[in-house]
Structure 1
Amino acid sequence: MATSAVEQLRLDLGAIAPEEADQAQVDIIASVLDFYQGDYRKAIEELLLDADFLRDQLYTASCLISHGIGRGWRPRYERL
């Protein structure tokens, strides 16, 4: 299932009011699998592609900002 620029993964939050969203337990894994109709291989593939895309965007952004504007901060590309 290819997604267009308009169609994106939306977590199934149900009818949770915004003030209750902080306390609500959302099963993110179930929401992702529901989006891909239970195809876990496709879900993993798409999530890895998204992570790769976001790393590339982070790299590009880090090349464009100056050392001064970031006050010495540099992004990390992997979670530790």
Structure 2
Amino acid sequence: MLCKENENVRPQIAKAPKTDLEWEVEAVLAWHDENPRAAISTLLLDCQHLRRQLALAAGASGIGFTRGWTPTYERPE
């Protein structure tokens, strides 16, 4: 005869906690009503805007002000 398994003694598989990036992805999708195309479009437009702002800031600040540092437009891998 088989006994019914007690759920209280079944081992629970621990899920890894979400990273900050995973929370941010969920927040972006929630903001766009779970529409991934709208989320991607907004993020690309934000990226484009920030690149323009970086170009303006790089042109406005002299080498002495930044002690030789120059911005990069591509993120390191």
Does the alignment reach a TM-score above 0.5?
yes
Sequence identity percentage: 39
Higher relative contact order structure (alpha carbons within 8 Å, sequence separation ≥ 6): 1
How many residues align structurally? 57
Structure showing greater Rg: 2
Give the superposed CA RMSD. 1.3
Structure 1: tracts of 5 or more residues without a match: 1-23
Which portions of structure 1, spanning 4 or more consecutive aligned residues, are displaced by more than 4 angstroms?
none
Q: How does 1:1-80 map to 2 (within 5 A)?
A: 25-26=19-20, 27-80=23-76
Hey, which of these two has a bigger chunk of helix by percent?
Answer: 2
Q: Any gaps of 5 or more consecutive residues in structure 2?
A: 1-17
